[in-house]
Amino acid sequence: MLSNFFNTRVGFIMLLILFLTISCFAQQSTISGQFPETKAGMFYTFTRVVQLHDAPLTSFYAPFDLYNAKFGQITLKGETFDVITGLKDGEEIILVDGNRNKNFSDDEIYAQTLSGMNVNTYIEKLIFSDGSGYYIALWRIEDKLYYCGITRREGILYVGEKSYKAAIAETDSDGWYTKDAILLMVDLNENGKFDGPEFFRKYLKIGEEYFTIESVTKNGEAIVLEKSSTSVLVPFIGETFPDISFEEVSGKTINLGEKVGEWKVIYFNFLTASEVSKINVWLDAFSEFLKMEVKSYVLLVVPSSCNCTSCEECPLDLESLAKKYKDITIVPISREKLDEITIRLRLLYPETLMVISPDNVLVYRTSAGVVTEGVIWKHTITMPTVEQISNLIVALVKN
């Protein structure tokens, strides 16, 4: 009996050690976040269109009549909300039955004017059958009514023994949270707000460690991130540039993170008719940088199809650009790969510029900030001029 007791006790201790080892490994390899609080305030996310009709789709009560009224419905998380839009005393009005009680007189909705546009954006809180809330922005331009989600869930991201203020937002404007369509915000500098470099999609960098979003609950209340063994994300200024490979126009594979012993410039833009003149200006500048032994990489998002009559003379023809600027590495980016590349390189639209040292350290990138006061958040992007970057390159090469 004593022997059995001893064996049982030893077995229990071994099992406990194994459990603690697994728990320790799990804590080291994953981090998690909890987001219990729903708040209004976010960038414009994916824009959806409300189909409008001349007659109501259901019966309801409205507090007043609208001239030239149109009726529609919004569906999020499988639940439908009625919408009315029309004129009252000559002013555009949008009403939403946010609590789904067929009564438009008891819903929280207010309007704010978009800066630079004579368009009112209406902010509405929707309440789902489970009691959870979701904020949307609606606006009408001519005969079209649009909406998008502007909701974030705030809480805490737990990283070992440390915790950070964090938030999560879904970007599909459908009310559901999925790991491929969320924006994660982490207050890394602990100043109580979310600054420009503290917004992440799919990948997250904390200290020297990289994490990938592994899972998120459908209602956005919790998230799990798994540690990544490689540098998957372009770092902050002053940190080493990771290995990221592309195929240039000729088909040759190039690695932006490869040490070439020279200063490197990376430029990103969309190869569209409106951007061609700007791209050519930068290409001319990069040609001058070659005299200072600065290697340039130009990443251009290419159209999915070409409708021109003569591609040889088309300003959007990559092969022609590659021939004209043969000492500049031009990399075509397909629309299918754009999202992943945007996330990994933390690209800003429509254009981004980065400078990397001979030691492969990121020393400059297009600066971006955010304005998070108010319900509609905004990016502030400052793209340098050719002259400013030229002066920077000269100073860097000389020093």
Question: Going residue by residue through the chain (399 aa), what tens digit of pLDDT does each one get?
Answer: 444 434 555 444 554 444 444 444 444 589 999 999 999 999 999 999 999 999 998 999 999 899 999 999 999 999 999 999 999 998 888 999 999 999 999 998 877 765 555 678 999 999 999 999 999 999 998 889 999 999 999 999 999 999 999 999 999 999 999 999 999 999 999 999 999 889 999 999 898 888 999 999 999 999 999 998 777 777 688 988 888 888 888 788 988 888 888 999 999 999 888 898 999 999 999 999 999 999 999 999 987 665 554 455 456 678 888 889 989 999 999 888 898 888 888 888 889 999 999 999 999 999 888 999 889 999 899 999 999 999 999 999 988
Grouping H, G, I as helix, E, B as strand and the rest as coil, residue 195 is: coil
Closest CA to 84 of 105, 115, 100, 62: 62
Q: Give the list of residues 6+ apart from residue 314 with CB closer than 8 angstroms, or none.
A: 306, 308, 320
Is the omega angle on the peptide bond into residue 350 within 30 degrees of 0, that is, cis?
Answer: yes
**β-pair type (263-270, 253-255):** unpaired
Q: Which two tokens stand for residue 124?
A: 């509405």
Grouping H, G, I as helix, E, B as strand and the rest as coil, residue 249 is: coil
User: From CA 183, how far away is CA 150, in angstroms rounded?
Assistant: 12
**β-pair type (151-159, 67-76):** unpaired
What was the pLDDT predicted at 19? 44
Q: What contacts 24+ positions apart, CB below 8 Å, involve 286-289?
A: 286/325, 286/328, 287/325, 287/327, 287/328, 288/390, 289/265, 289/390, 289/393
Grouping H, G, I as helix, E, B as strand and the rest as coil, residue 324 is: helix
What was the pLDDT predicted at 304? 66
User: From CA 220, how far away is CA 132, in angstroms rounded?
Assistant: 11
Hey, what amino acid is at 134? Y
What was the pLDDT predicted at 245? 87
**β-pair type (294-301, 329-333):** parallel
Grouping H, G, I as helix, E, B as strand and the rest as coil, residue 123 is: strand
Dihedral over Cα of 161, 165, 171, 172: its sign:
positive
Apex 37 CA angle, 34 and 39, nearest 5? 130
Q: Give the list of residues 6+ apart from residue 381 with CB closer than 8 angstroms, or none.
A: 348, 366, 367, 368
What was the pLDDT predicted at 248? 84
**β-pair type (222-228, 67-76):** unpaired
> Exposed, middle or buried: residue 218 (CB in 10 Å: 0-12, 13-18, 19+)?
exposed
Could you tell me the CA-to-CA distances from 85 to 44, 70, 82, 122, 226 in Å, in that order? Answer: 21, 5, 10, 11, 46
Host H or E run for residue 184: strand 182-186
Q: What is the pTM of this model?
A: 0.81
